[in-house]
Chain A
């Protein structure tokens, strides 16, 4: 089955700097790659996703890149703000029936003011 690796497990950046989180996946059939943000005490919520027919997607300060050949995808947050502090999870899913999302182990991002 699919296996998703995520790095780093913790990340601290100064406010205004950029943050990058990287994930790799094992199943070349995977074609959907969402990123979730989980604030303390809250549920994980989707912040951006990308499908395999696209190499890059951007939404304001957040961008995701996908390299299908290398089987890795990354989340980029620019001009970080204290409210970006949270745990971020990447995930991958194959298109086979109702397969569930397989999540990475998460990255705890701290933005220092």
Chain B
């Protein structure tokens, strides 16, 4: 394992549901990211957290709400999603003070019905 764990691995939800994706990293990194991966836009950056503060939001709809309670945990709260939001959601972390690689979790495969 790379040290970045995502749960759940698979999620099916209705358009009126509320669910949360969880990401946890055990690498001592201080930056965490949410990426959306779909056939149309591979590896599309959604949110960046550095030292638990959001530093970037790439015009993501408000039905996606991130939360970073500490440097090891990152959540993505989902509310009234659309079928086109179905995708693989990948969490990643890196040591932001050094220009090094990002480590990815295994992703959550989300299907909105």
- A joins B in a complex: yes
Q: Which residues of A contact B (CB under 8 A)?
A: 31-32, 34, 42-46, 49, 51, 87, 89, 93, 95, 97-103, 105-106
Given A43-B107, A103-B42, A34:B96 Cβ within 8 A:
no
- Please report the number of residue pairs spanning A and B whose Cβ atoms sit closer than 8 angstroms: 55
Given A43-B104, A43-B107, A44-B104, A103 and B48 touching (CB < 8 A)? no
- Give the total of B residues in contact with A, Cβ under 8 Å: 25
Write out the residue numbers on chain B whose beta carbons fall within 8 Å of the beta carbon of A49.
101
Q: Which of B55, B104, B105, B106 contacts A98 (CB 8 A)?
A: B55
- Which residues in A have their C-beta under 8 angstroms from that of B51? 98
Residues of B within 8 A of A31 (CB): 99
Q: Are A100 and B56 in contact (CB under 8 A)?
A: yes
